[in-house]
A and B are shown apart, each in its own frame.
Chain A
Amino acid sequence: MVTFLNIVIAGLLLGGLYALIAMGLSLQYGVARVLNVSHGEFIMLGGLITWTLYTAFGVNPLLSLAICGPLTFLLGFIIHRTVFKRLLTSSESRGVFESNSMLASFSLLFIIQNIASIAWGPEIRGYSYLRVPVNLAGAVFGANRLMTLGFAVVIGVAFYLFIARTRTGKAIRAAAQDPAAAGLMGVNIDRVLALCFGLGAALAGTAGMLISLCYPVHVAMGLEYTVIALIVVVLGGLGSIPGSFIGGFALGIIGSVVTNIDPSLSLIAYYLIFVLLLLVKPTGIMGR
């Protein structure tokens, strides 16, 4: 019973992170139509910035959220304004834009990773913060990991409410459905798309900060998280934010079960699920 509880809680802890990462990517693809291959690089930036702030300046990692979030948001916003907006106007169809923007995001991966490796070097970085054991009905977990789950849920819910309840959220939803019509209805479409890309990057940066609480971070860590985010996003339905949230937790629990059997098999298991899903229901859990 305790092992079962252990596995489920470990899965939820992992799932919170996955959900956060996937929501960012889902927003970028669902609204801005950019299949952002460099998503993992923003995670890496979030993690390494947090590490630097903590080890060099002693800034509390949770406080560094107030720095990582806006910083990655700004970076994403500027990138969309300069790169993807130009691509959007020069591409003749949506299909062309999707493939061009994916390739552009791949070159961004190169650029961001290289700048990060100049700044931080190739070493694997880790720090210790809140590594105190907490007993949950017999299952023991680190406080830092529980903190991660709490943050992920709070940010996820807040984000959902933002999309579902606010005026800007409504504009985002309208832009996701039909950018041209939304533009005609008075939505400033360029601003909304850039906002979405920036918010996606900020979610990645936040996830990076949370990841650095539990795992070591390094310059080349991004790609693995990008692949996981892609799997979760397809699992939940491309472009569906609640879908990504649910898909993240589902994948987290699956991952935790598989890790219990053989840790090095988890990514392979994710991929098998991904293949099965594509065969049975390619539109994902929440897809139409």
Chain B
Amino acid sequence: MNAVGVDLKKLRAPALLLVLLLLLIALPHARPGYAVVLVYTILMYIVLTVSWVLFSAPTGYVSLAPAAFFGVGIYTSAILGMKLPLPVVICIGGLASAFLALLVGALTLRLKGIYFAIFTFGLVELIKHFVLWYELKYTGTRGRFLLPVGNNTIYYVMLAILVALLLTTYFIKRSKYGLALQSIGEDEEAAAHTGINVTLLKIITFAISAVFTGAAGAIWAIRLTYIDPYIAFDVNNSFMPVLMAIFGGLGQLYGPILGAVVFSFLREVLITRFPYYYMLLIGTILLVSILYLPNGLVGLIQRWRRRIWGGQHANT
């Protein structure tokens, strides 16, 4: 009986995920229209958040570069979108971001954490101004237009990117590379002494996380239909993944996902309901969650669960 119980428990999580995936695949047929747009927006934020977590959570380096990778994806799509088929454009968007990440990583990942955060924060502004300067000087336009594609296509592409990202994250976490990354976050010098090529590992992981952010940007560009440097390289896209991950809780993989789902849904609702007070409300929620939920939503859930079911045990 015991063996069966263990087997069932092991199967429970994958089965649940499979059902969820099937439901997500079926959604556009059951509820076309706004629901699809809402869900792929949420999926986009999950992609951004999880790919941020992939690099920053184990290593402890706070990257504020997601907006840069996202923007590179957007511009790849804007430049190549009409010339190449969609899957190719999205792959190139991901690769272009990864290339940028390799470059930035090689330059800065030897530095201490705080310099890395400052550097990546400024990187977004740099690329924004560079693209703006280039567009005004050489192409003579400020923004670009894209050919719209059906909402369902965007939805399925975003879902595919998310599934690929989750599988990658899962396998990295399970492999010895995941362990090595974890050890970098705990003590970088000790990790180096055990024979881990610390810098190389950091750079590669940074690039892998950028692939998915860039790919998401490439498909998001099509949803935007009009882009300019200020839209593409919006600094909010750097902070949102970080805040969503913290909001959900970094301890478990499902924490950032939960954070991204709850927060991006909240964001959509607040933007449509209170367009003039939306930033104030979002800012307040974030501030309160940073102050009062140090372990995020996951910490809150665990605390409640202990309170409800764990009454007879001592809280240790």
B171: Cβ under 8 A from any A Cβ? no
B129 interface residue (CB < 8 Å to A): yes
Instruction: For the complex formed, measure the closest distance between the CB of A119 and the CB atoms of chain B, giving whole angstroms.
Output: 12
Q: Judging by beta carbons under 8 Å apart, are B286 and A230 in contact?
A: no
Determine the chain B residues whose CB is within 8 A of the CB of A106 once the complex forms. 239, 243, 286
B163 interface hit (Cβ, 8 Å): no
| A22 in contact (CB, < 8 A) | no
**Contact indicator A278/B133 (Cβ below 8 Å):** no
What is the interface of chain A, defined by CB distance below 8 A to chain B? 35, 37, 83, 86-87, 90-91, 95, 98-100, 102-104, 106-111, 113-115, 117-118, 223-224, 227, 230-231, 234, 238, 262, 264-265, 267-268, 271, 274-275, 278-279, 282
Chain A residue at minimum C-beta to C-beta distance from B291:
A86
- A103-B239, A106-B286, A227-B121 given; name 9 further pairs at CB < 8 Å: A83-B287, A100-B290, A107-B283, A118-B276, A223-B235, A227-B125, A230-B122, A265-B133, A275-B119
Q: Which residues of B contact A (CB under 8 A)?
A: 60, 62, 107-108, 111-115, 117-119, 121-123, 125-126, 129-130, 132-133, 136-137, 235, 239, 242-243, 246, 276-280, 282-284, 286-287, 290-291, 294
Which of B107, B123, B137, B290 has a CB less than 8 Å from the CB of A107? Answer: B290
Would you give the shortest CB distance from A237 to chain B, in whole angstroms?
A: 12
Of A35, A91, A227, A282, the residue contacting B111 (CB under 8 A) is: A282
Please, could you name 12 A-B residue pairs with CB atoms under 8 Å apart, sorted by A? A35-B117, A90-B291, A106-B239, A111-B280, A118-B280, A223-B125, A230-B122, A264-B129, A268-B126, A268-B133, A274-B122, A279-B107
Chain A residues whose C-beta falls within 8 Å of the C-beta of B286 in the assembled complex: 103, 106-107, 110
Cβ-defined contact, B243 with A238, below 8 A: no
Q: Contacts A95-B113, A107-B287, A223-B235 hold; do A230 and B121 have CB atoms under 8 A apart?
A: yes
Interface of B is mostly: helix
Q: Which residue of B lies closest to A86 (CB)?
A: B291
CB–CB B122/A114 < 8 A: no
Q: How far is the CA of A223 from the CA of B125 in the complex (A)?
A: 9
Complex Cα distance A44/B108, Å?
31
Q: How long is the Cα–Cα vector from A95 to B62 in the complex, in angstroms?
A: 10
A104 vs B280: C-alpha distance when bound (angstroms): 13
Decide: A278 and B115 in contact? CB cutoff 8 A.
yes
